[in-house]
Every structure is written in structure tokens, then in C-alpha cells.
């Protein structure tokens, strides 16, 4: 794992994205370029509306840039066809959202197994893997519960379990604690740390929290659509 330290996990080059709003072009990302190495934990700061979510969505391939490219593990996802990109996403990227985004019609276990099922994993394996993962986030006894019966913190733990069950090489977290109190947020942070580092995954974390930023290897801030390196200020 450590020997991988120098390979690039996420390669972003000249990425631009804007929206046409009321006839006016609103540029969210300006020519953003950055390389994130394998196993690195990177924080992404920025005011609300600065484009953090937009950047994460472009990296995960659920959004398409106006120009520029995104490479993950050497694969250029920005030039892939939708289907190809979707399959790449489900096999390589885990996503954690601010609002948990669990599927309300599936119970906790099924939410996790859905990811495995999409990757066409055998039923028996997926059952065991799912139990192990819930055990790791401390929610094994809630496997049959539906999301709306869980607290916010519990839902986010399930969401983390879901993002990681596939052992993705890249985990993207969009203000995962933005909707949680400090105490619960802390539990979530520790969990992310504990679960992602051992598998050598790369974490890109959009957050407002300086505390969270301090735990990361590198810190960037989005200002006026440009990415500024703030690692030094958080050392």
C-alpha cells in the first residue's frame, strides 16, 4: 500500500464547468487542475455555493464538465460513454452525501446489498459482506430496519457502509457531517478514517469544518472557481 503512495489516484486537468442562468453564464469551476495521490486524504473547503459539490460530481462522473478531463486510476472517465462511466463508478467510487441519500424503500441490509448486486456479486458472499460492513459501523442489529426509522447519525453510518462495501479506490464525501451534531460528526469522521485508510483508498472530502480539514493530508479551497492549496495554513 505504502509503495503506491506516489501513483496518482485522481488526475484533474483544466476542468471547467458553468451554468447558463437567466441568460448569463455563471462559471462555477475555472480551469481546475490537481493530482491526488493514492491513499491520500484531501479536504475541499469553500463557501456554500463555491462549487464543491459540482467538483465532486464531476469526479464521480454523475456530471459532465464543459471542458477538461478527469482521470481516475488512469482511466479517463470524462471521455467514457454514459454506460461505461456508470459501470466504472459503481466499481471504483464510493460516495457519501450530506443528506445520506439512502433508498427509502430498501431496508439497511438491502441498501448495502444493492451496491453489490449492481456489481453482480453472488448472493451468499454479499450477505456476509454486508453483515461484516454493518458490524464495522456498529449497526449490525439494524440490518432489517428502514432508513426512516434511523437517526441522522445512524443513517450516515449506513451511508458510509454502503459507500465502502465495495472497497472502492476512491471515496468522495460531500459534507458528510454537515447535517449532524458535533458529537455524531466525530463518530462519522473516525469511522471514515478507520475504514478507508486500511484499504488504501483515496478520500476527497468537501467540508466546512476546519477540524476535519486538519485531519487531512492536504487541504484545498475553492475560491471564485479556482482551486487554492491551503495545506500550509492547516499544519
Ligand X SMILES: Nc1ncnc2c1ncn2[C@@H]1O[C@H](COP(=O)(O)OP(=O)(O)O)[C@@H](O)[C@H]1O
For ligand X, the binding residues (CB under 6 A) are 19, 21, 28, 46, 48-54
Q: Which stretch binds another protein (CB under 8 A): 2-10, 57-65, 183-191, 219-227?
A: 57-65
Residue 133 φ/ψ region, left for φ over 0, alpha for ψ in the -120 to 50 degree band, beta for the rest: alpha
Does position 129 interact with another protein (CB under 8 A)? The reply is: no
User: Which of residues 38, 52, 89, 218 is near another protein by CB under 8 A?
Assistant: 89
Q: By CB under 8 A, name the one of 50, 57, 155, 202 that touches another protein.
A: 57
DSSP 8-state assignment for residue 68: E
By the rule CB under 8 A, 206 interacts with another protein:
no
Q: Which is nearer to ligand X, 51 or 61 (CB)?
A: 51
Q: Compute the half-sphere exposure of residue 46: CA atoms within 13 Å on the CB side of its CA.
A: 27
Min. distance of Cβ 35 from another protein in angstroms?
24
User: Which of Mg ion, ligand X, another protein, none binds 114 (CB below 5-8 Å, type-dependent)?
Assistant: another protein
Helix (H) or strand (E) holding 9: strand 8-21
Strand pairing class (67-72; 75-76): antiparallel
Looking at 36-44, 59-67, 204-212, 218-226, which segment touches another protein (CB under 8 A)?
Answer: 59-67
Site membership for another protein, residue 27 (CB under 8 A): no
202-206 vs 170-174, strand pairing mode: parallel
Cβ proximity of 37 and 6 under 8 Å: yes
* β-strand partners of 174: 206
Amino acid at each position: 500500500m505504502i509503495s503506491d503512495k506516489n501513483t496518482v489516484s485522481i488526475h484533474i486537468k483544466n476542468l471547467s464547468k458553468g451554468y447558463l442562468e437567466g441568460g448569463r453564464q455563471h462559471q462555477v469551476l475555472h480551469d481546475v487542475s490537481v493530482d491526488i495521490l493514492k491513499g491520500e486524504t484531501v479536504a475541499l473547503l469553500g463557501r456554500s455555493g463555491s462549487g464543491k459539490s459540482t467538483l465532486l460530481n464531476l469526479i464521480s462522473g454523475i456530471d459532465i464538465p464543459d471542458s477538461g478531463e478527469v482521470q481516475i486510476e488512469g482511466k479517463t472517465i470524462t471521455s467514457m460513454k454514459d454506460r461505461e462511466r456508470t459501470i466504472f463508478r459503481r466499481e471504483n467510487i464510493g460516495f457519501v452525501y450530506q443528506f445520506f441519500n439512502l433508498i427509502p424503500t430498501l431496508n439497511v441490509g438491502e441498501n448495502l446489498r444493492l451496491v453489490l448486486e449492481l456489481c453482480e456479486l453472488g448472493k451468499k458472499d454479499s450477505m456476509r459482506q454486508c453483515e461484516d460492513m454493518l458490524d464495522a459501523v456498529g449497526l449490525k442489529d439494524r440490518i432489517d430496519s428502514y432508513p426512516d426509522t434511523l437517526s441522522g447519525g445512524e443513517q450516515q453510518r449506513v451511508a458510509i457502509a454502503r459507500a465502502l462495501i465495495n472497497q472502492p479506490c476512491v471515496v468522495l464525501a460531500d459534507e458528510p457531517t454537515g447535517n449532524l451534531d458535533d458529537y455524531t460528526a466525530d463518530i462519522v469522521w473516525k469511522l471514515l478514517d478507520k475504514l478507508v485508510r486500511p484499504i488504501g483508498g483515496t478520500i476527497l472530502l468537501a467540508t466546512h469544518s476546519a477540524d476535519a480539514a486538519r485531519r487531512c493530508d492536504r487541504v484545498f479551497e475553492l475560491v471564485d472557481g479556482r482551486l487554492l492549496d491551503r495545506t500550509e495554513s492547516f499544519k
